[in-house]
Structure 1
Amino acid sequence: MPLLYSIGKVTVGPALMLGWRPHVEGRENIPKTGGLIFAGNHLSVADELFLGASVPRHIAFWAKSDYFTGSGFNGWVSRTVLNGLGAIPVNRGGGRAALTAFDGAIPVLRGGDCVAVYPEGTRSPDGRLYRGRTGVARLAVGAGVPIIPVGTIGTERVQPIGQPYPMPFRGKITIKYGKPIDTTGRADDRTSLRALTDEVMAEIQKLTGQEYVPRYAPAKTPPPQDA
């Protein structure tokens, strides 16, 4: 576990668990060793915070590649923090550049570490569960690791879109971990990856009870509404 992440596990993690007291179910479904992917619904920036706080293992999260290449003092701080957390850079420009994120994640997974993916690709603008993108399936099959579906409930009230940090006393958070989805022997053609992704999203929906929308979430979210 990277040093800075280890420090966070004994400082920030306990503070989140104590301050917001999220209800966690299915933690016994998380293998203690071996590479795996956590695939969850995405309601808030806080999803990653509480996922990391409630899982005893290191999770490599994605971060925009710009944060790794900034100049000056702020750029140095950003690079140091993200490297210390074991983050994986992702280029949002699309095409081959975006695929470098997967290239970076596969050796991480094959090395026995965990990676978090939000298949919807963006935060839900209205609390519903949107169609998943097939990157999660492509990554799992390519690395030969299982997928743990994750259902998070309540984070959109604790940290709504536009809110820079989680707020206390704004509702109850629940995190549910489903049983591992084995990807051994799965084909990597487009149809098979689509089917695996739909299977993952169906398991997430079972955990959250969200209404499912069979189309991709809009790339841009609307302005935040008054709470």
Structure 2
Amino acid sequence: MSFYSIAKKFVVAPTVNTAFRPWVKGLDNIPTHGPAILASNHLSFSDSIFIPVVVPRQVRFLAKNDYWQGSGVTGTINRWFFSLSGQIPMDRSGGKASSDSLNAGLQALRDGHLLGIYPEGTRSPDGRLHRGKLGVAKLALEARVPVVPMALIGTDKVQPVGKSIPRVRRVGLIIGEPLTFDSYFDNATDRFAQRAVTDEIMSRIMRLSGQEYHDRYATDVKRKLAQSRDTDGS
């Protein structure tokens, strides 16, 4: 039995199920075998804990590489946990580094895994659903796999941005029907095709989550909010 299975069965799942009583709709939309991308909104650091608890199969996530770069005891624990649980470090700086990270995700799909990804690229800073980045489409088209849209409900109340200690609240996960993009497979590297695929995925997530959609990247919104705080504080 793998570290992932042991930790989920004996530690994480009992704790999460007792404290947060997650509800789920559409669980039968998760493929029982073979590769697929699980594409979800992203409201909290805890999202990557709730999804694996609910989904029967192991989910590998593209997680920001900051979790592997911390120092001290906390940094060591993070590296240990994320590595042993099969997560994949994602460099979000752009260029070759980001491309290499996506290639690691692509290999996970080719190996038959479920790959979890947050198309917004980062947690929503304001509760809205933001414009998706093209990585999810690049992976789906290159690997020729279905994308399962998902919506986490209430996780922002459990662990709001900036809070390290979770609050006990009930959370939910709504799983939509898998999306297939066969008509785009021959144009996998075309950015217009990638944008069309990404926008369709985000549209489905929006319908499932009920969030307001904001057609700007979450990273840009975060930057603007930070600048406003700096201006107000000066």
How does the TM-score come out when normalised to structure 2?
0.86
Deviations along 1:142-161, whole A, 9 cap, x unmatched? 11111000011111111111
Q: 2-side partners of 1:72 and 1:210: how far apart?
A: 38
Q: 1-side partners of 2:183 and 2:59: how far apart?
A: 25
Aligned-partner SS, 2:182: coil
Partner of 2:58: 58
Give the superposition deviation at 1:201. 0.7
1:161 to 1:111, Cα distance in 2 relative to 1, 3 A: same
Equivalent pair of 2:88/2:105 in contact (CA under 8 Å): yes
Partner of 1:184: 182
AA at the equivalent of 2:62? W
Equivalent pair of 2:62/2:105 in contact (CA under 8 Å): no
**Which structure's residues are more often helix, by fraction?**
2
Give the root-mean-square deviation of aligned CA atoms.
Answer: 2.1
Partner of 1:134: 134
Give me the identity figure in percent: 44
Matches within 5 A, 1:20-99: 20-65=20-65, 67-68=67-68, 77-99=77-99
Q: 1-side partners of 2:201 and 2:179: how far apart?
A: 8
Matches within 5 A, 1:99-178: 99-168=99-168, 170=169, 172-178=170-176
Give the superposition deviation at 1:83. 2.3
Give the superposition deviation at 1:81. 2.6
Deviations along 1:65-99, whole A, 9 cap, x unmatched? 35546788766554433221111122233210111
AA at the equivalent of 2:174? K
Q: 2-side partners of 1:74 and 1:132: how far apart?
A: 31
Aligned-partner SS, 2:115: strand
> Which runs of no fewer than 5 residues in structure 2 stay unpaired?
230-234
Deviations along 1:31-85, whole A, 9 cap, x unmatched? 1101111111111111111111100111111234355467887665544332211
1:147 to 1:16, Cα distance in 2 relative to 1, 3 A: same
Q: 2-side partners of 1:66 and 1:16: how far apart?
A: 24
Equivalent pair of 2:91/2:101 in contact (CA under 8 Å): yes
How does the TM-score come out when normalised to structure 1?
0.88
Q: 2-side partners of 1:15 and 1:72: how far apart?
A: 26
